[in-house]
Structure 1
């Protein structure tokens, strides 16, 4: 039976209005009406212009899992897509249960989501899998990141040993990942792995301007060395859906920063360049094959972003 309508629930889409507009286009191409929902802490967020915003518990709340399953059952949700790291952890833990309910969770396996949500655990994972990553040597300066941090929140710059001593006196060092500061070009990778573990495509884009951990300006630029290491990483079983990877790279020497098993904040750049992930997700739900020629995306495309004003009338 052909669906004329799909119900898609996002977990924390918040400000990702442009991403949902790409989903709308994908649905229109297949004559499928899409109805969006998004779990948020703030009911008046930009995504509310195209989605039904549902105030929910925090994703790490003990009651969230029950809340999520009940909502999916009551509203007959077809697809769930996480857009925050903490959401990937809880969603992946009930992925098989949701499949039995006829709902597709677009998320990687639990062990990968759990590890990548924790910067210290992910560093151990990079070591175990022989992936080049920043180290913590005896030299300075250094960067200290909260192990459960996101969007560049809580990051501290440590200039010397004295700074490190002061920093260690005011925080619990077990809650931080400390690494050598690296001054290098930064790249984001947007990739998609299908439900059978096949890598559909990998796009590399250089980050030019960043604000609060989110890219404001980037350029799609093919980097074969980053693509090669990304293929190696994503060949490890367990990945599914959109995957975002961050790298330092100079002189064709990629150094992994982090992996987010979800859509990244600047993914619309890659969607514009040819990675039609919304269509691929819809096709996967209907068990359709993904027809796509990899590495044929537009290189040399500059994305620059601006603010968009969203208004809600009759708020008190």
Structure 2
């Protein structure tokens, strides 16, 4: 395969993901490089890339221009968004970026992004397509006391479980309605929590679907997970993907309850725990390179089952010039 330099956006703490792409790139061509970008030189992951750039914030006018310039300079062939807040901007500018560079942007259609980034739209998508989901608690429900505790509140455009809270009483409800900006309120669902890493090709054909039971979570990101080929979840996710029609890596949150699967949200990007699925055999980073080389891939479940994945923090030390030391 020809050189396939890859640009990882908003690298942040995604050290594992960059390592996965570096391993895959090295396997296909020793000259392929992983370039990382972030707004800060204290983002740990940039020091694990072959090269990094500090770029403007997403909301700044020259953000997209900076990406295009880097793509041209580094001969980028693949662009990987990683955080929710950049998805809309990247989707809106996908055609321009691909037109002005030789890069392929791994992002779904703007309609898919709009469904996933707005929690009201996501809830509506679930309801209209007969997928299990938490019941939405409206202003009228609250006014008429038409609900039961516990409830769950989160921002409509939230991410990483920031300002997401379980509500146990009227007093808490009154407080969090004012505290959480632009909130959505739902019934609280109890059961086994799963994250599902799904990977689809650029035509929207599923290649791998990996359910992971969430054993421990911190700030919305999994710390301990159990890979589980749960047939009920896999088949329902297949149905969801066929209706939503995304591409690339998709992260789906759901809860398995006594009355069936309840979908919570969809993040159309690599989730923080995606390297778990990659490492057990659902290697979406390698699959991307295979697809870009012209190889046709087919759905498979050729990954390890019943594997517990444990994640941990590590440290990087910088000198006064921002160079990695120790």
Relative to the length of structure 2, the TM-score reads 0.89
SS of 1:235 mapped into structure 2: helix
Deviation (angstroms), 1:234: 0.9
Q: Which residue matches 1:76? A: 75
Q: How does 1:18-37 map to 2 (within 5 A)?
A: 18-37=16-35
User: Structure 2: 5+ residue runs without aligned partners?
Assistant: 138-146
Q: Which residue matches 1:65? A: 64
Q: Which residue matches 1:119? A: 119
Q: How many residues align?
A: 311
How far does the alpha carbon of each residue in 1:267-297 deviate from its partner, in whole angstroms, 9 at most, with x for none? 111011111111111122222223x661232
Q: Distance in 2 between matches of 1:8 and 1:184?
A: 39
Relative to the length of structure 1, the TM-score reads 0.91
Tell me the C-alpha RMSD between the 2 structures. 2.0
Q: Which residue matches 1:105? A: 105
Q: Which residue matches 1:42? A: 40
Q: How does 1:1-316 map to 2 (within 5 A)?
A: 2-3=1-2, 5-51=3-49, 52-100=51-99, 101-136=101-136, 138-170=147-179, 175-236=182-243, 238-251=245-258, 253-290=260-297, 294-315=300-321
Deviation (angstroms), 1:98: 3.0
Conserved 8 A contact 1:206-1:218 = yes
SS of 1:236 mapped into structure 2: helix
Q: Which moved more, 1:262-271 or 1:46-55?
A: 46-55
Conserved 8 A contact 2:191-2:257 = yes
The verdict on how the C-alpha distance between 1:63 and 1:123 changes in structure 2, with shifts beyond 3 A counting, is farther
Q: Which moved more, 1:240-249 or 1:20-29?
A: 20-29
Conserved 8 A contact 1:190-1:244 = yes
User: Structure 1: 5+ residue runs without aligned partners?
Assistant: none
Deviation (angstroms), 1:252: 6.8
Deviation (angstroms), 1:97: 2.7
The verdict on how the C-alpha distance between 1:75 and 1:28 changes in structure 2, with shifts beyond 3 A counting, is closer
How far does the alpha carbon of each residue in 1:296-316 deviate from its partner, in whole angstroms, 9 at most, with x for none? 321110001111111223447
Q: Distance in 2 between matches of 1:242 and 1:203?
A: 11
Deviation (angstroms), 1:212: 0.6
Conserved 8 A contact 2:251-2:270 = yes
